[in-house]
Amino acid sequence: MKAIIFAAGKGKRLWPITEPYPKPFVKILGKPLIGWIIESLKRNKVNEIIVIVNPKHTLPLDYYDFTKKEIDHSKTISVSEFLEKVYDVKTVFQNEPKGTAHALWCAREYIDDDFILMNGDDVVHFEDMEKIVSEKGFFVSFFEDRSHFGAVVHENGLLVDIKEKTLSGPGLISLNLAHVPKEFIEYANIEKLTPSQRGEYEIADAFVNFAKDNEFKTIEIKPCYTISFYWDLIKVSLSFIERFVSGKYPLEWLGNDYQIKGDSIVHENAVVKTNELKGSFVGPGVTIETFSKVSQSVIEGFNRIGTSEIKGSVMMKKSNIPHFNYVGDSVLCEDVNLGAGTKLANLRFDNQNIFVETHKGKVNSKKHKLGSCIGAHTKFGVNSSVNCGLLIAPNSQILPNTFVKRNMGD
């Protein structure tokens, strides 16, 4: 069995997290999204995996090295070399960003049998992967609001059409996920497709055209773990913690160096002195001091938490909250340091939903508690504070006693 994975996109909506690397390489519990996907495929006997990547995309050289604290984003490795070395998969370049159908067409010479086609940044529930491997068809999920997705039109269990972001209300959505015969590749021939409004050749059009000529069965599965914005990263990470702690996922998927302690997952090299650790993931080289409080959070690796509180948040490698800090419902990217007394707010005075200003305008997070997303290598002076729902660019420097009340950077 063969699988083709789309991984050439950057993930602008996840900025500043995706500033140093593309979205498929954002980590869940220390492992990249695409890593979870590849390992799930291999567990289900899909051993020939082709990943379509942008040749210009890179990762920090020590991106996956948890044997040392240092982070140096100036030294890089191509995503292609990383995937081939770490996951033993083949990569194909999409040299121009011409859409997902074009991306598949770039891999046409490797299509000689039935294959699975999927996104590299949407993690399928692992219990659904067996169904995806064993059944041919077009996989869909039920959503209460289809307005931000491709809404699926179907009759008698067969795909008829995909309406991109034009239908609202509850119904089935496309996951860009299918198990198709080798003949499907001809429907991705860009000479037979019309570019979309954004000037790209869309795989959705290939699916619809294939359905016009063939019976293309729709198969419903659970919604994928989808990460569009930084608050999704927090939600998905906490869901993974719950599934590992409850035993739904075997702990060995994380590696042999982790153990369950209460309702948390803790690496054997972590030093946890506090009694206030609840529902969290604690990676290697982490130190959590006695008078700290950590709940429902990911502490990825080589972090230090002093006399501080963190809840509902993700701290990436080598970020620190050492002295009298509060971090609520936020994401700290790599190598962020909060000066003593720095606080990240997560609640409006009026208790209304928090809106976040993104590159595509203001987005309703639909959360009344949400902190900020702080880009890599950002440093805070003492007694700083950050308003809720803000995006701070990588390498920012916030002076002491500063109140940050709007986005900083791109």
> What digits encode the pLDDT tens for the residues 266-282?
999 999 999 999 999 99
Question: Which of 174, 194, 226 is the endpoint of a domain?
Answer: 226
Q: What is the pLDDT of residue 255?
A: 87
CATH number of the domain that residue 181 is part of: 3.90.550.10
Q: Mean pLDDT over residues 130-136, rounded?
A: 94
How many domains are there within the chain?
2
CATH number of the domain that residue 274 is part of: 2.160.10.10
Q: What is the pLDDT confidence band of residue 32, given thresholds at 50, 70 and 90?
A: very high
Give dist(CA 100, CA 106) in Å, integer.
10
Q: What is the pLDDT of residue 145?
A: 75
Question: Which of 170, 194, 226 is the endpoint of a domain?
Answer: 226
Percent of the chain predicted with pLDDT > 70: 96
Q: What is the mean pLDDT of the chain?
A: 91
Domain membership of residue 409 (yes or no) is no
Q: What is the pLDDT of residue 40?
A: 94
Kindly report which listed range (9-13, 54-58, 102-106, 297-301) carries the lowest average pLDDT score: 9-13
**Half-sphere exposure (CA, 13 Å, Cβ side) for 12?**
6
Give dist(CA 393, CA 382) in Å, integer.
19
> What digits encode the pLDDT tens for the residues 223-264?
888 888 999 999 999 999 999 999 999 999 998 899 999 999
Give dist(CA 30, CA 266) in Å, integer.
12
Domain membership of residue 36 (yes or no) is yes
Residues 90 and 197 occupy one common structural domain: yes
Domain membership of residue 55 (yes or no) is yes
User: Of 329, 364, 331, nearest to 346 (Cα)?
Assistant: 329
Residues 214 and 249 occupy one common structural domain: no
Is residue 351's pLDDT more than 70?
Answer: yes
Is residue 49's pLDDT more than 90?
Answer: yes
Residues 145 and 238 occupy one common structural domain: no
Is residue 68's pLDDT more than 60?
Answer: no
Residues 109 and 235 occupy one common structural domain: no
Q: What is the pLDDT of residue 65?
A: 60
Q: What is the pLDDT confidence band of residue 139, given thresholds at 50, 70 and 90?
A: very high
- Bridge partners of 264, per DSSP, are 261
Give dist(CA 28, CA 300) in Å, integer.
9
> What digits encode the pLDDT tens for the residues 324-337?
999 999 999 999 99
Runs of H (alpha helix) within 44-191: 79-87, 100-106, 126-134
Domain membership of residue 410 (yes or no) is no
Q: What is the pLDDT confidence band of residue 72, given thresholds at 50, 70 and 90?
A: low
- For residue 222, the 8-state DSSP code is P
Domain membership of residue 291 (yes or no) is yes
Q: What is the pLDDT confidence band of residue 167, given thresholds at 50, 70 and 90?
A: low
Residues 221 and 295 occupy one common structural domain: no
Domain membership of residue 142 (yes or no) is yes
- Bridge partners of 266, per DSSP, are 259, 282
The answer to whether 294 and 276 have CB atoms below 8 angstroms apart is yes
Runs of H (alpha helix) within 135-229: 203-213
Residues 206 and 275 occupy one common structural domain: no
Q: What is the pLDDT of residue 74?
A: 66
User: Of 378, 383, 379, 387, nearest to 400 (Cα)?
Assistant: 383
Give Cα 314 to chain centroid, integer Å: 12
- Report residue 59: phi and psi, to 5°: -125, 150
User: Of 291, 294, 289, 292, nearest to 278 (Cα)?
Assistant: 294
Question: Which of 226, 243, 268 is the endpoint of a domain?
Answer: 226
Is residue 67's pLDDT more than 80?
Answer: no
- For residue 124, the 8-state DSSP code is P
Q: If residue 27 lies in a helix (H) or strand (E), which one and from where to where? A: strand 27-28
Q: Mean pLDDT over residues 403-407, rounded?
A: 95
Q: What is the pLDDT of residue 107?
A: 94
Range of the domain at 368: 230-404
The pTM for the full model equals 0.92
Instruction: Write the CB contacts of 56 (distance below 8 Å, at least 6 apart in sequence).
Output: none
- Bridge partners of 258, per DSSP, are 267
Is residue 47's pLDDT more than 90?
Answer: no
Domain membership of residue 101 (yes or no) is yes
The answer to whether 174 and 162 have CB atoms below 8 angstroms apart is yes
Beta strands (DSSP E) in 191-290 are 218-220, 225-226, 258-261, 264-267, 271-272, 277-278, 281-282, 287-288
Q: What is the pLDDT confidence band of residue 199, given thresholds at 50, 70 and 90?
A: confident
Residues 37 and 130 occupy one common structural domain: yes
Q: What is the pLDDT of residue 75?
A: 78
Residues 211 and 271 occupy one common structural domain: no
Instruction: Write the CB contacts of 377 (distance below 8 Å, at least 6 apart in sequence).
Output: 71, 73, 334, 335, 336, 394, 395
Q: What is the pLDDT of residue 179?
A: 97
Give dist(CA 352, CA 368) in Å, integer.
5
Give dist(CA 409, CA 407) in Å, integer.
7
Q: What is the pLDDT of residue 150?
A: 85
Give dist(CA 295, CA 391) in Å, integer.
23
Give dist(CA 410, CA 217) in Å, integer.
43
Q: What is the pLDDT of residue 238?
A: 96
Three-state secondary structure readout of 328-385? ECCEECCCCECCCCCEECCECCCCCCCEEEECCEEEECCCCECCCEECCCCEECCCCE
Instruction: Kindly report each contact of residues 343-352 with a partner whose C-beta sits within 8 Å and lies 24 or more positions away, as own/partner.
Output: 343/384, 343/385, 343/386, 344/371, 344/372, 344/374, 344/385, 344/386, 344/388, 345/371, 345/385, 345/386, 345/387, 345/388, 346/312, 346/370, 346/371, 346/388, 347/388, 348/388
Amino acid at 185: I
Residues 251 and 215 occupy one common structural domain: no
Residues 242 and 295 occupy one common structural domain: yes
Domain membership of residue 378 (yes or no) is yes
Is residue 219's pLDDT more than 70?
Answer: yes
Residues 111 and 218 occupy one common structural domain: yes
Residues 347 and 249 occupy one common structural domain: yes
